[in-house]
Structure formats: structure tokens, C-alpha cells
Amino acid sequence: MLAWTIYISFLGALVVMLLPSGSVRATRILALFTTVAGFVVSLWGFTEQQSGEIVTIVRLPWVPSLGIEYHLAADGISLTLLLLTGIVAISGVLFSWNIEHRAKEFFAFYLALIGGVYGVFLSFDLLLLFVFYEIAIIPKYFLIAIWGSTRREYAAMKLALYSFVGSAMVLIGLIAAYVTAGAKTMDLMHLAQFPFPVHFQMWAFPLVFVGFGILAGLWPFHTWAPTGHVAAPTAASMLLAGVVMKLGAYGCLRVAMTLFPRGLDAWGFHVLGFGSWRDVFALLAVTGIVYGAMVALVQKDFKFVIGYSSVSHMGFVLLGLMTLQQIGLDGAVLQMFSHGVLAGLLFAVVGRMVYDRTHTRDLSELETMHLSKVIPFAAATFVLGGMASIGLPGFSGFVAELQVLIGSWHAFPLFAVVAGLGIVIGIAYTWRAMQKAFFGTSDRIPVSTTPSLPAISVPERIGAIILIISSVVVGLYPQLLLRIIVPALHSPLFDGLWKGRGR
Amino acid sequence: MTTINFLSLLHLVSPEVIVVVAALCVLSVDLMFLRTSETRLRGAIGSTLSLAGCATAVIWILHTPQSANVLDGMLVLNPLAQRMQIALLILSMLTVLIFIESTFTENVSEYLSLLLLATVSMMFLVSTQNLLLIFLSLELLSLSLYILTAFNKRSIRSAESALKYFIFGGISAAFLLFGASLLYGLSSSTNLASIAGSVHGPVLDPLLIVAIVMTLVGLGFKVAAAPFHFWAPDVYQGAPAPSAALIASGSKVAGFFIFYQVMVVGLAGAEGSGVWHGYASGWVPIVAIVASLSMVLGNLVAILQTSVRRLLAYSAIAHAGYMLLGIVSHTDESFRALLYYAITYALTVLGAFGVVAVVEEETGGDTFLDFAGLSRRAPVPSFCMLIFMLSLAGIPPLAGFFGKFYLFSSVLTSTPGTLGLLWLVVLAIALSAVSLYYYLKILKYIYVTKSSEGAAPIRVSALRQAALCLIALGVVLLGCAPNLLLRWL
């Protein structure tokens, strides 16, 4: 049944493409219907599954001579991210209600991207996962290059090439693993149990981890993210930051860390104080947290602030993964959900509510516009979203980042402190952006002369409310997701990871 | 030597005979009955006859499975050879479909009969293991292709490229012949299997090394591998679109098939090794070097191109490099992977040239600017081009991706226990990431760039659209369900 999330999305893309070109309205409604259907299916799967253990959905031979299967399954982590995809996809459609230019193609690419994302989260055959992972690259390129803004063609190409280089690294690792195991199978469960030689894991792990990490905004390979997010049309930035970056983090956890757990072991020698890949990646994650936050602090463009904040928040996910502590990993998965929802919300405010009305994202220009009076709903939404993303208790960001911090306190005390510093800088840049964009105190121009802007439309309101509610619900009752995430992390798939914990 | 009477020989080569008869029919019907008809009609009738001839040959092969090895390896028929013949016939039929509404020539019947003769030579090429017949069919193929390249008499480019093709082809044929004569001198046989029996030994005969290099030059020219590729960009650019499509597709498949046969069957025992830190002299390291050169040069130079045809030429060089990996690893598995790759690649590039033909007839050029805004002027061909380019770049779930995965994994499997050929696979995958850039660049012009002012929608005939959709469907289907083809190879 959960497999229908994929089929519905691709079918939707196909039907949208075949609609007569005049019917923009029908296209939108169809796209909305498709995403809602996808969400309903994943919600059904979420309520249906109590334990969070791996449940196979479909398992058919695909290329029998090579042992490749069409194997879809779901565990707690997949379900959490499916829910996230459903939520962000629906609000993305709602926030692109004003797309008129080549709307048919826009929604076709949009739905194809969603289909690919659902596919990645459900695949338990590595080749299948890789197939869906790459399917998601191409629509992103077109969404940005055709409907984007600032330097869109450059940003789109950069994003596509970064993603493709990452996936090339993953492909090398996967083929090498497939051949080394020699069992003619690409089944994740099977390969995760295969004892790959340690020296093999030592180069394959960083290769695959970085390959996926590029898409997760791993510093210093994050540079595609801010430019891509800024150039993308609103719905695409929501998906990019909300879901696509999670594909990378998900791949790191699901593929790199389960296939090559020994790659996290100590090297047995020290270089510049680093004793294992785990130290190296934890440092990169922390650097990403602080660097992203500091760069966000000095941006002039409103959207770049959010773009760099994504790098910073994704750093928490990667740091959580590297703790190898139960609580840290829980936090990482929860942070994927939380950041997905919140980044979607913030990009929606900046891209749709503000930029589409004012046609500027320059903070110093926005400062003169008294936006909190002109579009109060946008201001209120941004305040809520901003508070949630800096980790105010009661929102999802708090539970997630707190767990990551606790986990990393056990594993890397120093990094935990630095990451805490990152949170403080996070408060500063969010505050600064909020102040400048909405509560500008320029006395030179009186309120009455600011041009009146179109009111916030109903779809925008609904979309914003959906995202805020999701964040609050998870923030108040994280057990909702944790009840399936925790058992999922204890499935046999992660055995290798836990066994090596003595390191 | 086995003897065989003419009647049974005729029976064995009847598919080829059918195609030759079809070629003669096309010529004679045109000359006798259609002298005064208009070109369109002559094109339609000639194409129908050619298609019918190829289809008959396909049906004949399907109904009479043969297994033979006669006349000292001159004619080797087995299920694989017959299936390759079918694949080549289908590729030729698709080429004819692309040709049908072309307007570059009035001598349609001559064009079609040459195309059919080229098909015959390709069919012989995949069903022989004798140097003599290999050389003969390569020459027949090349001669037909030279003329097909020069066929657009209104274009000076066409003549120029044909001349270049001819000169390069002549020289490399001389190399091949020289290599073959040395092999004959070493083994006093032209049968690949008996050559293999006499060349192997602990130390390679210097003469054998010369023979290997010479043969490689000749075959490398045929598959457009660097550094024997210089003809490719000009020919791809100058030749009429269907000719370029045939050169890029059918001729490539046949070329790789025979490349593999000569190297793996004929030079068995002189392989050497291209494993990292485990180098041993033989033909494998040479092919590995040629493969790496082709991948690097093809992919990097393709970035600079502004003409879609030249870009396809350099991408062909790069793909030749990937496919040579299948020869480097020389296992049965990698042979299957090579054939899968070659056939799907041929199909894809054939479709790409079909779209190029559509655009050229409308705009008169093949630069990126001629493709600008194509998706709004001709949505169906544009979508087909999207599929072809993404497949060439190796994006799943298209055929190009699965081809790459299968080929690369078979290359790694060929050295069990060690990942000795990993360096070639890493190089190939890294460069295929580069290749996405230039394929996306074409798609950027088609989908993103605005078309020039007042550009009207392009009228593409239903037949052309159907042909393109058919090819695109094939590419998608073979990618989603690779088993359809794998089971068959």
C-alpha cells in the first residue's frame, strides 16, 4: 500500500503532462490532489505500523541474472521521512498556487521529484535506491533553471553537477560493495550483514558517506545549497531544503553507515588529532553548523540567510549521526523531520509571501517597507518559524537539537560546546533577519506611503498552518515519531553499527 | 577445412541474401517504374521495400535457428550471432524510418540500397571468425558508409567529411591488413581460433606485438576510439543525419562485436593484464590505455562543443571508451554487458540523430542556438531528446544507466578477489559525471532558453514522431526492464 506513494506521484506527473495546455487551474488542483493522496497513504502507513520494525511492502525479482530486486520496505525512519515528504509536498503545491508560466511542466517536474523522493525512502534494494536517488536530480535542475530567479541557470547546473558527482561516488562504492560481497545481490539487509574487509570499508565508507553528504550539505561541499535554494522557485526551495537534503542524510545513515560500519572504527594512528573518519566527519559537521550560522549572520539577501541556515541545521543531523549514540541518532532523524518542516516554512515566507509581493529580498530595502504592518500574517509566520528553528521549547527543533547535543556531549564534548555556540549564533541571525525584514524601524518613510501589497491568499495560509502545526505537534509530543524511530534504529540492519560501539 | 555445397551455403546466408535482394529491388523498382514520380513517393516506396526486406530477414532468422561453423571460420552461426543480426537489422530499419522524409537527396533508391548493403556487411561481420571475411565485410561496410556520408551533394561539408573519412579509413584498413598479414604469418591461418592456438606462449613474440598494435589501430578506427577518432567529429557533423545515425549505431555495434572477437578469440593467450600494480604486457593494457584516452578526451572535448552533432561525436568517443572496458575485462559476463551497452547506446544515439534531423530541416543548423526553445516549438521530439540525452548521461531508469552499471560491475567482477580494474571504473564513473554537464547543456537550450522571436511551432510528421517515440519507448523500457534484452543476449 505504501508503494502507492511512489506510483501516485509519477502517475500524477504523467496525467499533468497530458492535460490540455490551457487548464492551469485543473493542473494545480490535480497536483494538490496527488500530493494529498501521497500524504494520506503515508499517514495510513504511519498509523498502521506500530513497531517501527522493517516491514516489506513489495519484493519482486527485477533483474534476476544480477540478483537485483524490486524491494520496497519501510521502517520507522522511512515512515518519518515519508510523512515529512507528504507534508512538505502539499504545502509546496499550496505555495506555488500563483505559478502561471508553463504551469503544466512545473507541476509535472514537481511531482516527478516527489515520486523519486518517496522511492528513495522506501527502497531496500541498493540499486533501486540509487535509481530513485538519481531520478530526483533531473527535475530539480529544470525546476530551478526554468522557474528560478537570481542566477538560476548557474545555480541549477551547479546543483545538478554537485548531486551527480555525489551520486557517482556512491555508485563507485555500491558497485565495489556488490562485487566484493560476490553474492550477486544488492539487497541492503543482506549486504549490511556481509563482513566487508576492514581496509575496504576504510575507503568505501568515506566515499559513500561524502557522496551522500554532498546532498546533505556537508561542509565544505555545501556550496550548491545556498545558491540553489536562493535561485529556486519557492516550492522548489521548500522541497530542496525540506526533503532533498534529507535524501543525502538518509543515504548517509541508511547506506553508508549500515554497509560499512567498520569504516567508523579508529584508524589506529592519529593525524592532526584525528583518529578515525568519525572524528573527521564530526568536525566537518560542527564546522558546517558554525560556519553556516556565521555566514547567515552577514547576508544581505533574505533568502541567503535561510539558505545558509539550512547548512547550519543540517550540520546537526550529520553531527547526530556521528555520535553513534542512541540519543544522538534519534535526534538526527528527528532533526531531519524538524528541519524539513521549518526550512519549508521559512522558504515559503521569504520566497512566496515576501518576494513575490515586494520583488526584492534585499534586507535593507525590506527594512523600509514596514512589512509587519502590511502583511502581518507573513510576519507572524516568520516569527513562529524562526522561533521554532532556533530551538524554542515547544517546537520540533528543540527536541531534535537537544538530543543531538546530549548525544554529542557523550561522544565529543568539545564539539557539543561549539555546536551550542552555533545555536547562539542561530538566534542572532534569525533575530537580525526578522528585525530587518519585518520590523524595520526606518522613520524616514511613514507607514502610510508604503505600497499596499496583495493580501496573503488562502492557499498560503493553509500551507503555513499545516507546517506550523506539524512542528508544534512533534515539538510537544516527540514520542509520536520517536516510538517508531527508536525501534527502527535497533533493527538488525543497524547491528553492525551498534556492535562496534566499544570504539 | 570443411567443405560445403553451395545450396547449403545459400541456406546459411539466406538472411543476407534477402537483404541484398531487397537492395536490388529498391534500385530496380525505382529505375523501372518511378522515373517520373515525385521524390516523396519514390522515398516512400523505396523505404517500404527496404523495411519489408529487413523485416523478412528478421522473420527468416527467427524461424530458422542455425548453428554452423563452416569454411575455416568464414561463417560462424550461433544463437548469439543470429540475435546480433536481428539487432542490426532493427537498427537499420529504424535508420530507414528516420530517413523516410528527408529532403537532402533525390537519389533515394541509391541511398537506401547502399544502406541495405551496409546492413549486409554488418550482418556478415557478426557471423564470422575469419580474418579474411572480417576484412572484406569491414571494407564493404566502410565503402558503403563513405558514400552515404558524401550523399548530400548540396553540402560542401558532406563531401569534405566523406573525403576525410575515406582517407582515414583507407589508412586504417591498411594497418588492419598489415596486422592481419602478420597474424597469418605467425600462425599460417586466418581462422581466429587457430590463430589463438599458435600465438600464446610465456613470452610474447615481438612480431605479435606489432600485429596486435596494427590490428588495434584498424579496429580502433572503426569504433572511433581515441587516438584514432579524428574522422568522427567531421563525419558526424557533415554526413546527412540518417548516415551519421547509421555510423553511430549499427556500425558501432558490429564494430565492437568484431573487436571483441578478434581480441578475445583470436588473441587468447596474449592478453597480459591491466590490473593496477599487476601490469603484464599483452593486448589488455593497450586496450586499457586506448579506453582511458577515449574517455578522457571524449568527455573533456565534448564540453567545448557548440554543435550538437560534434558533441554527439565526442560523446561517442567517450562511450567507445566505456565500451572498451568490456573488452579489457574479457569475460563472458562483460561481453554480454558490452553488447547490452552497445545496443542500447546505438538505439539512443539513433534517436538523438532523429531529433537532430527534425531540427535541421526546420532551422538549417545544428548549433545549440538552433535548439533554443525547442520544447515549446516541438514538444514531442523535445521530450524524446530529453530521454536520449539523460540515457546517454546514465541517469536511471533509462537504458544508459543500467548499461553502465552492468558493464562496470562486470569489469570489477572479472578479477575475482581483487578490485584490480577499479582504477578504470573510477575513471569511467568520474568522467560520466562530467558528461552530465554537456548533455544538460543541450537540454538547457531545449527546455530553458527562450526561442527567438516569432518562432512558429515546428510541424513534425506523424510518422517521424511515431519513430522517435518508438525509440524513446525502447530506451525507457530497456532501462526499466533490462531483462527483456539480457535474457536474449
Please state whether beta strands A55-63 and A68-74 pair in parallel, antiparallel, or not at all (unpaired): antiparallel
Query: Is the pLDDT at B22 greater than 90, yes or no?
Result: yes
Residues B300 and B438: their CA atoms lie apart, in Å, by 10
**For residue B124, pLDDT beyond 70:** yes
**Strand ranges, E, within A243-328:** 266-271, 274-276
Residues of A whose CB is below 8 A from B419: 176, 179-180
Q: Give chain A's length.
A: 503
Note whether B396 contacts A135, CB cutoff 8 Å.
Answer: yes
Q: Return d(Cα B271, Cα B267) in angstroms, integer.
A: 7
Determine the Cα–Cα distance for residues B393 and B395; give it in Å rounded to an integer.
6
CB A173 within 8 Å of CB A184: no
Closest residue on chain A to B397 (Cα): A131
- Which chain B residues contact residue A131 at CB under 8 A? 396-397, 401
Predicted pLDDT of residue A449: 54
Q: Do A176 and B401 touch (CB under 8 A)?
A: no
Contact A95, A108 (CB under 8 A): no
Under the banding of pLDDT at 50, 70 and 90, the label for residue A444 is low
The pLDDT value recorded for residue A456 is: 82
Instruction: Give the least confident one: A133-142, A228-237, A467-476, B198-207.
Output: B198-207
Task: Determine the residue among A16, A60, A63 to mutate to test chain B binding: the one whose Cβ has the most chain B Cβ atoms within 10 Å.
Answer: A63
- By the CB < 8 Å criterion, does A171 face chain B? yes
Using the Cβ of A141 and the Cβ atoms of chain B, whether some distance falls under 8 Å is answered with yes
pLDDT for res A450: 59
Calpha distance B162→B145 (Å, rounded)? 9
pLDDT at residue A40 greater than cutoff 80: yes
**A19 interfacial to chain B (CB closer than 8 Å):** no
Query: A138 vs B416: CB contact, 8 Å cut-off?
Result: no
Do A134 and B395 lie within an 8 Å CB cutoff? Answer: yes
User: Cβ of B433 and A168 within 8 Å?
Assistant: yes
Predicted local confidence at residue B201, as pLDDT: 67
List phi, psi (to 5°) of A301: -90, 125
Mean of the pLDDT values across residues B55-77?
88
Express each pLDDT in B39-59 by its tens digit: 888 888 999 999 999 999 999
A66: chain B residues, CB-CB within 8 Å: 406, 409
User: Which residues does B200 contact at the CB level (< 8 Å), separation at least 6?
Assistant: B268, B269, B270
Q: Exposed/middle/buried for B185, CB within 10 Å: 0-12, 13-18, 19+? A: exposed
Q: Give the residue on B whose Cα is nearest the Cα of A158.
A: B437
Does A198 touch chain B if contact means CB atoms closer than 8 Å? no
> Do the chains contact at B395 and A130, CB–CB below 8 Å?
no
Peptide bond into B227 cis (omega under 30): yes
Tell whether the model's pLDDT for residue B305 goes beyond 50.
Answer: yes
Q: Are A324 and A71 in contact (CB under 8 A)?
A: no
For residue A502, the model assigns a pLDDT of 46
- Considering only CB atoms, B486 lies closest to which of A65, A141, A168, namely A65
Indicate the residue of B406, B408, B429 with minimum beta-carbon distance to A66: B406
Cα separation values, A367 from A372, A429, A430, Å: 10, 15, 15
Best of B331, B441, B448 to substitute, by most chain A Cβ atoms within 10 angstroms, is: B448
How much of chain A, in percent, has pLDDT values that exceed 70?
A: 97
Instruction: Report, as an integer, the average pLDDT of B320-342.
Output: 92
Distance from C-alpha of A335 to C-alpha of A396, rounded to nearest angstrom: 8
ipTM for the complex shown: 0.90
Within a 13 Å sphere around the CA of B387, how many CA atoms are in the beta-carbon half? Answer: 28
CB atoms A135 and B482 under 8 Å: no
Q: How far is CA A264 from CA A199, A283, A323, A387, B448, in A?
A: 11, 14, 11, 35, 43
Mean per-residue pLDDT, A5-33: 87
pLDDT confidence of residue B188: 86
**Under 8 Å between Cβ of B288 and B424:** yes
Cβ of A130 within 8 Å of Cβ of B396? The answer is yes
| Residue B20 confidence class, pLDDT cut points 50, 70, 90 | very high
Residue B422 distance to chain A (closest CA, Å): 8
Mean per-residue pLDDT, A83-99: 90
Res A471 pLDDT > 80: yes
Which of B419, B437, B440 shows the shortest C-beta gap to A179?
Answer: B419
Angstrom distances, CA of residue B370 to CA of A216, A300, A323, B78, B362: 38, 39, 54, 46, 9
Candidate from A142, A157, A175 with C-beta closest to B447: A142
Q: Which residue of B has its CA nearest to A143?
A: B448
Q: pLDDT at residue B1 above 60?
A: no
Here the cell at position A20 is 490540455
Tell me if chain A has a CB within 8 Å of the CB of B480: no
Q: Cell numbers at residue B208, please?
A: 605479435
CA distance linking residue A482 with residue A367, whole number of Å: 41
Give pLDDT, residue A445.
58
Going by pLDDT thresholds of 50, 70 and 90, the confidence category of residue A2 is: confident
Kindly report the nearest CA distance between residue A283 and chain B, in angstroms: 27
Residue of A nearest to B406 (CA): A66
Lookup result for grid cell 587468447 = B268
pLDDT of residue B245: 93
Residue B459 is given by DSSP the state P
pLDDT of residue A252: 92
Phi and psi angles of residue B391, each rounded to the nearest 5 degrees, phi first = -65, -40
Nearest-CA residue of chain A relative to B417?
A: A180
Which residue of B375, B419, B444 is in closest CB contact with A153?
Answer: B444
In the prediction, which pLDDT does A447 show?
A: 55
CB contact under 8 A, A135 and B426: no
Closest-CA distance of chain B to residue A118, Å: 15
Q: Do A66 and B409 count as a contact with CB atoms less than 8 A apart?
A: yes
A128 — pLDDT class (breaks 50, 70, 90): very high
Minimum mean pLDDT range among A91-105, A486-500, B112-126, B377-391: A486-500
3-class secondary-structure state, position A69: strand
User: What is the Cα–Cα distance from B472 to B475, expressed in whole angstroms?
Assistant: 5
Across the interface, whether the CB atoms of A135 and B413 are under 8 A apart is answered no
* B444 interfacial to chain A (CB closer than 8 Å): yes
Site of grid cell 524461424:
B63
On average, the pLDDT of chain A sits at 87
Q: How confident is the model at residue B88 (pLDDT cuts 50, 70, 90)?
A: very high
CB pairs under 8 A between A and B: 74
Q: Is B437 on the interface with A (CB under 8 A)?
A: yes
Contact at CB, B412 and A179, closer than 8 angstroms: yes
Decide if A135 and B390 are in contact by the 8 Å CB cutoff: no
When pLDDT is averaged across residues B237-261 and rounded to a whole number, the result is 92
Nearest to A160 among B396, B422, B436 (CB): B436
Q: In this complex, is the C-beta atom of B380 within 8 Å of any C-beta atom belonging to chain A?
A: no
Beta carbons of B286 and B208 less than 8 angstroms apart: no
Cα R_g (chain A), whole angstroms: 22
Judge whether A320 and A407 are in contact, CB under 8 Å. yes
Return d(Cα A320, Cα A333) in angstroms, integer: 8
**pLDDT > 50? residue A172:** yes
- The answer to whether B483 contacts A171, with C-beta atoms less than 8 Å apart, is no
Residues 240-259 of B with CB under 8 A from A: none
For residue A148, the chain B residue with the least C-alpha distance is B448
Q: A-chain residues within 8 Å CB-CB of B303?
A: none
